[in-house]
Structure 1
Amino acid sequence: MLRLIHAAPAEPEAPRSQASVRYAQLKPDILAGKVRPGNKLKINDLAAQLGVSPGAVREALSRLVPEGFVISQDQRGFTVAPISIDDLLDLTRLRYDIEEIALRRSVAEGNHGWEAPVLATAHRLRRTPRIVDDAPNFDWLTQHELFHRALVNGAHSPRLLAWNVDRSRDVDAEHQALVDAALDRDADALAARISRRRQR
């Protein structure tokens, strides 16, 4: 049986929230190689391990299909997509390109209702440790994705975002700079800061 490293949440969540959290769990596991390319992803087994409904797991896996991480085949279920280093680099470049477009649209189209979630998610992210017991903290990964999603939601275009555990970076300062550029409605600065992340 496929084993994931995450514990089930302590409190029940709404189905869509469950799916979003499971998606945020499964994606880094696939990227980190904890779930190997070609492995079959058994919905009922994953649901039991994660303590959620099969429907939430199915929705999470379905979200990973168009991103190229999971393959869905009729009558055969879901498997982890075969992927190479070149594929990962291409996906990363594409994600940054899409994110830059969405950030510019958020600055142009976002109203005050867009700014509030940016501030709230940035605050939660700052208060969540990145590393716990010398390992990436799943709660931080979740908050990190929610923060970046809030940045692009002014354009209603949330996109795939990766996580980074490079301890030499001042990630809190990087995220605060993104918040400042967003609230200043400075699309060029926002895009430039995202571009710097791409080059690291």
Structure 2
Amino acid sequence: MHKIQNMYKNDTSQRTPPLVDQAFAQLRRDVLSGTYSPGAKLKLDELQAAYGFSSSPLREALSRLAQEGLIRADERRGFRVTAISAEDLMDITRMRVMLDVQALRESIEHGDDAWEAQVVAAFHRLEKVEGRLSDGPVVLDQGWTDVHTAFHMALISASPSERLRTWSASLFDQAERYRRFSARYRKTFKNKSSEHRKLMDATLRRDADTACALLREHILGTERNVLAVLSKVEPDRGG
């Protein structure tokens, strides 16, 4: 009986993420969604009350978020959400064009049938979600973020470079914060399904030059949309 109970406990512990991972995931989600305004101070005691974690996993989670560039350590050894600015967005975009396009080219070269099926399935889920969004002002929610991220990550998932995939994913998430911020201020929502479909089709045809050109324009289009909003709206920098 004790052996069975111990096996059950071990199995349960394997299924439950460590506290640091849980804290990191929840904080990361809320930073990306704008729950914490750009520049907002992240006070440890307030985070403990909000999430129910002790200081140790929260400090580790904050350090990991700082490594991703989503938050910054300030001069008083605290943390603030990274500010939103046109300069930061343009730097993120420049790096995405460099890394994401290369990752897609490598994926097209190395991807197999299972990879193709993953891309198609991810696009189908994204198209379903986008089809339910209105044409008017819209706040992009976590559901859209999840399927949008999954599609773009599926495209590059066959790249043999783990570092390239990891860096691309981090930059994608940093850009996601800008996408969700700007969506709140745009008067209309431009459905991206047609762009995503063209990108998928070129990828599945193994037309690397066309697919990479489409991805590059897709990334630059996001930059243009966000910059248009930033030119009219001053982000709340918290404090």
Normalising by structure 1, we get a TM-score of: 0.70
Q: Supply the distance in 2 between the matched residues of 1:41 and 1:101 (Cα, whole angstroms).
A: 35
Q: Aligned residues, how many?
A: 184
Where structure 2 has 5 or more consecutive residues not aligned to the other structure, the ranges are 1-14, 222-239
User: Which residue number in structure 2 is paired with residue 3 of structure 1?
Assistant: none
Answer with 139-148 or 55-64: which moved more: 55-64
Query: Structure 1, residues 111-169: CA drift from partner, whole Å, max 9, x if none?
Result: 22322221222111111147478422221012111111111111141422234446463
Q: Which has the higher contact order (CA 8 A, sep 6+)?
A: 2
Q: Supply the distance in 2 between the matched residues of 1:183 and 1:173 (Cα, whole angstroms).
A: 15
Larger radius of gyration: 2
User: Which residue number in structure 1 is paired with residue 202 of structure 2?
Assistant: 181
User: Which residue number in structure 2 is paired with residue 97 of structure 1?
Assistant: 98
Deviation of the 1:94 alpha carbon:
1.3
Instruction: Sort the Cα spacing of 1:195 and 1:150 in 2 relative to 1 into closer, same or farther, 3 A.
Output: same
Q: Supply the distance in 2 between the matched residues of 1:62 and 1:123 (Cα, whole angstroms).
A: 36
User: Which residue number in structure 2 is paired with residue 150 of structure 1?
Assistant: 154
Where structure 1 has 5 or more consecutive residues not aligned to the other structure, the ranges are 1-12
User: Which residue number in structure 2 is paired with residue 5 of structure 1?
Assistant: none
User: RMSD across aligned C-alpha pairs, in angstroms?
Assistant: 3.6
User: Which residue number in structure 2 is paired with residue 8 of structure 1?
Assistant: none
Normalising by structure 2, we get a TM-score of: 0.60
Q: Supply the distance in 2 between the matched residues of 1:93 and 1:147 (Cα, whole angstroms).
A: 21
Q: Supply the distance in 2 between the matched residues of 1:24 and 1:65 (Cα, whole angstroms).
A: 14
Q: Supply the distance in 2 between the matched residues of 1:116 and 1:21 (Cα, whole angstroms).
A: 30
Q: Supply the distance in 2 between the matched residues of 1:48 and 1:115 (Cα, whole angstroms).
A: 44
The 8 Å contact of residues 21 and 142 in structure 1, kept in 2 or not, is answered as no
Asked if 1:26 is matched to 2:27, the reply is no
Structure with the higher fraction of residues in helix conformation: 2
User: Which residue number in structure 1 is paired with residue 193 of structure 2?
Assistant: 172
Give the letter for the 1:29 counterpart.
G
Instruction: Sort the Cα spacing of 1:62 and 1:150 in 2 relative to 1 into closer, same or farther, 3 A.
Output: farther
